[in-house]
Amino acid sequence: MDLVFLLIYPILGAIVSHLLKINAFGSVVVFFVIPSVYLTLKAPQYFKKAFLFSLLAIPFIVVVDYVAHLTGQWIIPHSMFPRVFQYITVEIIFWAVLNFYFVTIFYEYFLHHHFTKKPYSSKIKYPVAGISLLFIIFLFFYNFFPGYLHIPFFYLTFGTIFILIPIILQFFYYPKFIFKFFIVAAYFFFVTFIYETAALQLGWWGFPGQQFIGWVSVFNVKFPIEEFVFWLLLLAMAILSYYEFFDNDEK
């Protein structure tokens, strides 16, 4: 019944979004906060570990979103809040944390069932150090050499390095997780496809740039192939690859 609810809910969320003409911030509440709270109430034992892991998304999405806006890979045209570093919206930071959290707690609740009293692994220091270094490098270029942040075909480059390659390494070294990861990816493809189409129809975000390898057209909306591959298809598996390797010890 939990899975049935979570399958029906995104469709209802899209209908409500269109009827009420909600904004980008409201979309995160509808599509991510409510189902995340639902799963948290069903499985509170996973909250602390999933939440702490999801906080890793904050400095990472700040860097990624800045370069994406700068290069026109995607933009959020309207925000309820002041922007950070000229371009970055509170909405996308909120989305990134909730996306990481929703994927992780969905995985634990339905498929993995790996509860530990310790809310983090000793290996978590490596992604913390890596993300911190990435953020420091970003600040250096942002303040002194901003022109170097104009990275050609940024979505393709970022997606290959930080999404595709970790998944390949995970499946090569730990193939036992393939089935579970594909189940999670199938569900989140369903959710993000509905979310994507609603977002483009209601103007929550857009893709003004031209440096894409191609386009997907469906339901009178158009988005880059990179968006289809790296977010709709692969992002959930990439999140779980990081989660298993750095915070769950591949158990």
Query: What pLDDT digit, counting tens, does each position of 47-101 carry?
Result: 999 999 999 999 999 999 999 999 999 999 999 999 999 999 999 999 999 999 9
Phi-psi sector, 211: left (phi>0), alpha (psi -120 to 50), beta = beta
The structure tokens listed for 104 are 């992780």
Q: By three-state DSSP, how is residue 205 classified?
A: coil
pTM: predicted TM-score of the whole model, two decimal places = 0.93
Task: Quickly count: other Cβ atoms within 10 Å of residue 45's Cβ.
Answer: 13
Query: What pLDDT digit, counting tens, does each position of 210-224 carry?
Result: 999 999 998 889 999
Domain that includes residue 230, residue range: 2-247
Closest CA to 28 of 38, 19, 17, 39: 17
Residue 27 near residue 78 (C-beta atoms within 8 A): no
The structure tokens listed for 112 are 């993995």
Mean pLDDT in consecutive groups of 10 residues from the start of the chain, 251 residues: 94 96 96 96 92 93 95 93 93 96 95 70 83 94 94 95 94 90 96 96 94 92 96 96 78 61
Per DSSP, what are the bridge partners of residue 221? Answer: 218
What is the domain count for the chain?
Answer: 1
